[in-house]
Amino acid sequence: MKVRIAVSVGLGAPDPSVLADTAAEAEDRGFDTLWVSDLPSLPAVEPSLALAFVASRTRRVRLGANFIPFGSEPYVMAHRLAQLDRLTDGRLLVALVPGLDLPEERTALGTAGRHRGRMMEELVPVLRRWWVGEAADGSEARLPVLPVQQPLEVWLGGAGPDAVARAGRVADGWLGSLVSPALAGRVRRAIQDEAARAGRHIDPEHFGLAIGYARRPEDVGRAARLPGRRRRLEDVELSELVPVGEEGLRTLLGRLVDEGLSKFVVRPLLPPQSPEDWSEELDWLAATVLPLQT
């Protein structure tokens, strides 16, 4: 099993010097992927802009993002991601997420009162048809430019029963967050079972977790105040979700690997604010987790 580790960047107000330097240094240190998140209600770089910017300053590292597929027409979404895969020379990784559970964000994105999970499940097959050059969604329009990757994969998240069933039916992989190793293992097995019932196969190496970590115990309190987060399906200690220090992070990754997960997005709970701080953070993180990468 190939263990691959991504580092999450792009949090905070957009700063080109910080983003450019961080991307270049992360690639030089050997991280598999640079990851950004779609957080329109928080200070964060918009993913498609961030990855297009980072693509021009890197050559090898893969470029992934959580994208909220709402707030624009599906055809525009398909067109944007196909172009982005071209601009990144086929290095794009796509995970679709529903966005934060904030009333003002739901209203702004046009999802208030609607089931976002079902909306995503309906959207994924439509995107796939456009990405292979077909017409879709009741329109004769076809994309003028197709993605480099064929297929361009779509990963989903979520640990509830509906999200698990949805991932098995339509996703190419699963990237969860804020779940314990035991629950992550159960989710992985349930998704594979659901995929088999749907006559599908999901690569067993396409299961991962986004992990917020703290370098010091006093930083852990930040995790409990993450906006839009709710308790998951079981009562677990915070240490099961947010590792502290080198040993805590390595131990959690090892337990997740034992549960069959192999792709990880690691994110400092207190994001550095300057190129110098990011350089020091990447030094610490590389020494801590990259020996686990296979």
| Residues with pLDDT less than 70, the chain | 221-237, 239
CA gap 195, 216 in Å, rounded: 40
pLDDT tens, residue by residue, 131-155: 999 999 999 999 999 999 999 999 9
pLDDT tens, residue by residue, 63-101: 999 999 999 899 999 999 999 999 999 999 999 999 988
CA gap 168, 194 in Å, rounded: 5
Domains in the chain (CATH in brackets) are 4-292 (3.20.20.30)
Mean pLDDT of all residues in the chain? 92
